[in-house]
A and B are shown apart, each in its own frame.
Chain A
Amino acid sequence: MAEEPANPSAPAVVFCGFSVWFGEKQALQDIQLSACRGQRLALIGAAGSGKSTLLRSLNRSNDMIPGYRYQGSILLDDRDIHDPRIDVAALRRRVGLVGTPAAVLPGSIFDNVALALKMAGEQSKQRIFEKVQNGLMKVQIWDRVKDRLQESAAGLTTSMILQLSLARTLVLEPEVLLLDEPGAGLDHQVVTMLEDLLEDLKETHTILMATNDLKQAARASDRTAFFQCGSLVECGPTRLLFTRPQSEMTCNFITERF
């Protein structure tokens, strides 16, 4: 396992010897990793290497899966997210996860975004509307959906559903943004929009993105972590990792596919 380079800004998310099992099968093995505000961290690796599991652990979405077990800890701003006193629902609002395939909730396009706010306890209709509008503008679909906000969201295209679910996450103003394979099967334009948006958001957010697209990782991240079979092989500045990987495994992975 490669040593983490010392970082001047304090890490917002730290995995300390974090391991995960699903039943008997180990999915993550003793992960030491940190992510900072102002940096986009890309997670790369083959399918089943534990990228998604890592992301999902961070907002405790794995808790529902039967047979899930973990060891070690994850710190969010120096606080253990598995602390029994922590409010899991509040944690999930602080750590927004946009999954694949992005899911639509029942109801209209407007409801899809407004629901997140309502569940967070927002009551003012005026404020809900403003925030929904703002969120949909951020992901650049406001112009396309503003005339049909009351239509069912089920009829949207895959790209628009991803934008919608991103808006839904952003209106909650999370501190950490987790993206699980954004860009899989999407329009080129939407991917560009998404990557530009992440660039803008990184100043104020900690961003972790699992991706199968190495070009995307190279393009749209500041640091990259390479996973294999549930272990972290190497983590470093993206440019360095892609040009001078320290481990042979990383080298094989990126040269074969890059």
Chain B
Amino acid sequence: MSGRRKTAVLTEKTMEALIRLCGVSAVVFVFGIFFFVFREGYDLLPRLDYREFFTSIEWYPTSQNRVRYGILALLAGTFSVTVLAMLLAVPFGLGAAIYVSEFCPPKRRETLKVIIELLAAIPSVVWGFIGLTVMNPLIIYLFRVPIGLNVLNGGIILALMSVPIIVSIAEDALKAVPDTYREAALALGATRWQTVYRVLLPAARNGLLAAVLLGVGRAIGETMAVLMATGHAVHIPTSVFDSVRTLTATVAAEMGEAPVHSDHYKVLFVIGILLFTLTFLVNLIADLTVRGIRNK
């Protein structure tokens, strides 16, 4: 009897410890990633010419005469593709979420949700392939431009990749709004659109904001698809038909060729630190905004 109780207590303790470990591991992994990225790049940090790093568009990491690490064009590339992707994905994603959650007949809803989740499961290299073989000739044909691998192509591909994330999280947020809100609004003589616009969107705004920001996170962090779809040219774009190169694509494309522990290798890790900081800032701003809304 006491032996069995001992086992029960032991099981309880073990399970508790395991579950705690799982919870703590998330924090450990984040710090771990930051630590290793930082360790590879920190050597270069004091020696780096920051003015050149942030303001020069000259990215010549393997030049024979003078290596130059200017990432302004890469930042502009990431920024332009992300902004275009969000301009396309946010209205489409939120619109689709509102349709699926509020206007769609239940049977069609299930079908649509399965399809949207399927869209989220497509590997990014497949998206890149679509950018390369479908979007590229299409853009050349439609807009009569010499090359279809550009900001527009990358933006559309990234938008297509972010939409499923935005839709499924935004839909969850809308579904989480209690039905009493809908009934109260409708009983007051609200039309369906008024119910959505005046009651559901304000009630779900935290979740919707989270959906949008996760979409932004996906767009900033995506590598493979933009590497294939944006043309990979170090260049500050002046129109959506210019080819660009993003920070992530640069790291992915050059990491394999940079000699380990060379300055080139290290500067790629510095870019990693920068990306890490960027996503951290996006999350921080999101968090503060959400808190601000809550306290209001």
A: residues with CB less than 8 A from B are 59, 61, 64, 66, 89-93, 96-97, 99, 101-103, 105-107, 115-116, 118-120, 165, 168-169, 172
Residues of chain B within 8 A (CB-CB) of A118 are 198
Determine whether the beta carbon of B188 is less than 8 Å from that of A116: yes
Whether A89 contacts B191 by the Cβ 8 Å rule is: yes
- Rounded to whole angstroms, the CA-CA distance of A92 and B195 in the bound complex is 13
Q: Per-position contact with A for B168-197: 1 when CB-CB < 8 Å, else 0? A: 000000000010111111111111001000
A99-B198 contact given A90-B189, A92-B189, A115-B188, CB 8 Å threshold: no
Sample 10 A-B pairs with CB under 8 A, ordered by A number.
A59-B187, A61-B187, A89-B190, A89-B191, A93-B189, A96-B188, A99-B183, A102-B184, A115-B198, A115-B199
Docked complex Cα distance between A230 and B252 (Å): 69
Instruction: A92-B188, A119-B190 given; name 17 further pairs at CB < 8 Å.
Output: A61-B183, A64-B186, A66-B106, A89-B189, A91-B189, A92-B189, A99-B184, A99-B187, A101-B180, A103-B183, A105-B181, A106-B181, A116-B189, A118-B198, A119-B185, A119-B194, A119-B198
- Please, how many residues of chain B have a CB less than 8 angstroms from a CB on the other chain? 19
B203 located at the interface, meaning its Cβ lies under 8 Å from any Cβ of chain A in the complex: yes
Q: Which residues of B contact A (CB under 8 A)?
A: 106, 178, 180-191, 194, 198-199, 202-203
In contact, A103 and B188 (Cβ under 8 angstroms): no
Of A59, A115, A168, most buried by chain B (CB within 10 Å of CB) is A115
Question: Could you say which residues of chain A place their CB within 8 Å of the CB of B184?
Answer: 99, 102-103, 105, 165
The 3 closest A-B pairs by CB, nearest first: A93-B189, A103-B180, A103-B184
* Inter-subunit contact A103/B181 (CB<8 Å): yes
Q: Is the CB of A169 within 8 A of B186?
A: no
Complex CA gap A89/B187 in Å reads 8
Least CB distance, B266 to chain A, in whole angstroms: 50
Bound CA–CA A64/B181 (angstroms) = 13
With beta carbons under 8 angstroms apart, the residue of A66, A92, A101, A107 that contacts B187 is A92
For the complex formed, measure the closest distance between the CB of A2 and the CB atoms of chain B, giving whole angstroms: 30
Residues of A within 8 A of B203 (CB): 105-106
Residues of B within 8 A of A64 (CB): 182-183, 186
